[in-house]
A and B are shown apart, each in its own frame.
Chain A
Amino acid sequence: MGRILATRLLRLGATLFAVTFLSFIMTSLLPGDPVNAILGVDAPRDQETVDRIRDELGLDKPLPVRYVNWLGSAVQGDLGESYINRGQTVWGDTIVQRLPVTAQLAFMAIIIAVILAVPIGVLGAYRQGRWEDQTTSAGVQVALSVPNFITGIFLIWLFAVKLKWLPASNWNRISDKGLIANLETAILPSTALALTQMAIFSRLVRSDMIATLQENFVLSAKAKGLSDRYVLFRHALRPSSLSLATIVGINFGALLGGTVVIETLFAIPGLGFRLINAINQRDILVIQGITVFVAVAYVLINTIVDLLYTVLDPRIRKG
Chain B
Amino acid sequence: MNKRSFTKLLALLFSFAMIAAACGGDSSDGGEDTTDTTAGDAEETETEDTVAESGTEAEGDVDTEVEATDAVATQGGEIAIGLEAEIVGMRPWEDTCGSPCMNVLPTIYDKLMEATADGGYEGWLLEDISANEDFTVWVGTLRSGVTFHDGSELTAQSVADMFPVQQEGATSAGAISASGLIGVEATGDLEITYTLGQANSAFPAYLSRAPIGMVFEPVSAAADIDAFNENPIGTGPFVFVSRDLDNETIVERNADYWGMDSNGTQLPYLDKISFRPIPDEGTRLDALLSDTTQVMHTLRQGTIRDARAARDEGADIFMFEFQGNNVGGGMFNVLVPPYDDVRVRRGLTQMNSQDNVIEALGGTGISLPGTQWFSPDSPWYSEKVAAAWPEFDFDAGVATLQDYVDDPERSDGKAAGEPIDAELSCPPDPTLIAAMQVLEQTWTASGLVTVELTNYDQQTHINYALGAENGFVGDHTTHCWRVSGDDDPSTFLNQALAPPTAEVAAANGLDGIVSPLNWSNYFDAEVFGSLVAATATDDFDERYALYESVMLKLAEDVPIWFSGHTATALGVRSDVQGLSSWELPNGTLGVGLPNAEGRWSMAWLAAE
Contact = CB atoms under 8 A, between A and B. Distances in A.
Q: Direct A–B touching in the complex (beta carbon < 8 Å)? A: yes
Interface of A: 31-33, 36-50, 53, 84-88, 93-94, 97-98, 119, 122-123, 126-127, 132, 135-136, 153, 156-164, 166-171, 173, 176, 229, 264-269, 273-274, 277, 279-282
B226 interface: yes
A266 B247 contact: no
Contact of B246 (A87, A127, A274): A274
B245 A44 contact: no
Given A32-B459, A85-B89, A86-B89, A39 B171 contact: yes
Contacts of B247: 171, 173, 267-269
28 contacts: A31-B459, A31-B464, A32-B457, A43-B211, A45-B517, A85-B88, A87-B226, A87-B227, A97-B245, A132-B3, A135-B7, A156-B283, A160-B287, A160-B289, A160-B290, A161-B289, A162-B20, A162-B24, A163-B24, A168-B289, A169-B278, A170-B278, A265-B280, A267-B279, A267-B280, A269-B244, A269-B245, A282-B459
B175 interface: yes
A42 B278 CA distance: 22
Interface string B257-300: 00000000000000000001111101110110111110000000
B226 A86 contact: yes
Given A36-B468, A44-B177, A267-B277, 7 more contacts: A33-B459, A40-B97, A43-B96, A45-B174, A46-B173, A266-B283, A280-B457
A273 B459 contact: no
Given A164-B24, A267-B279, A169 B17 contact: no
B211 A162 contact: no
A86 B292 contact: no
A161 B459 contact: no
Given A32-B463, A132-B3, A280-B457, A86 B290 contact: no
Top 4 A-B pairs, shortest CB-CB distance:
A40-B96, A87-B226, A32-B459, A269-B247
A265 B283 contact: yes
Contacts of A266: 283
Contacts of A127: 3
Contacts of B515: 44
Nearest to A136: B7
Contacts of B230: 87
A108 B321 CA distance: 40
A53 B284 CA distance: 33
Nearest to A40: B96
A169 B276 contact: yes
A228 B7 CA distance: 18
B532 interface: no
Contacts of A136: 7
A171 B292 CA distance: 10
Nearest to B491: A44
A154 B175 CA distance: 45
Q: Is the interface of A mostly helix, strand, loop or mixed?
A: helix
Contact of A46 (B7, B88, B177, B459): B177
Given A39-B96, A168-B292, A157 B286 contact: yes
Interface residues of B, number: 70
A173 B3 CA distance: 36
B428 to A, nearest CB: 11
A206 to B, nearest CB: 13
Given A32-B459, A280-B459, A43 B174 contact: yes
B528 interface: no
Given A86-B229, A269-B244, A169 B459 contact: no
A268 B278 CA distance: 9
Contacts of A282: 459
B290 A167 contact: yes
A243 B595 CA distance: 56
Contacts of B468: 33, 36, 50
Given A119-B3, A164-B290, A49 B170 contact: yes
B463 A40 contact: no
A186 B515 CA distance: 47
A87 B25 contact: no
B338 interface: no
Nearest to B82: A169
A262 B458 CA distance: 21
A176 B88 CA distance: 22
Nearest to B513: A46
Interface in B437-483: 456-460, 462-464, 466, 468
Nearest to A50: B468
A237 to B, nearest CB: 14
Contacts of B17: 158-159, 163
Contact of A32 (B95, B98, B278, B460): B460
A85 B245 CA distance: 9
A50 B467 CA distance: 13
B292 A167 contact: yes
A48 B277 CA distance: 32
A48 B512 CA distance: 12
Contact of A164 (B7, B95, B291, B460): B291
Contacts of B3: 119, 122-123, 126-127, 132
Contact of B286 (A132, A156, A269): A156
B103 interface: no
A170 B288 CA distance: 11
A76 B230 CA distance: 25
A44 B178 contact: yes
B516 interface: yes
B283 A168 contact: yes
Nearest to B512: A46
Contact of A161 (B82, B276, B280, B290): B290
A36 B171 CA distance: 11
A264 B174 contact: no
Contact of B173 (A49, A161, A267, A274): A49
Nearest to B475: A31
A281 B283 contact: no
Contacts of A40: 88, 96-98, 171
B492 interface: yes
B246 A163 contact: no
B21 A162 contact: yes
A229 B2 CA distance: 9
B283 A169 contact: yes
Given A170-B80, A265-B283, A46 B174 contact: yes
Contact of B170 (A39, A85, A280): A39
A49 B247 CA distance: 30
B191 interface: no
A265 B280 CA distance: 6
Nearest to B172: A43
Given A44-B495, A50-B468, A171-B247, A267 B283 contact: yes
B557 interface: no
A3 to B, nearest CB: 44
Nearest to B6: A119
Interface in B516-558: 516-517
Given A160-B290, A170-B287, A170-B293, A43 B463 contact: no
Contacts of B175: 43-44
A217 B457 CA distance: 60
Contacts of B161: none
Specify which of A38, A97, A168 lies most central, judged by the most chain B CB atoms within 10 Å of its CB: A168
A21 B246 CA distance: 28
B94 interface: yes
B384 to A, nearest CB: 27
B581 to A, nearest CB: 27
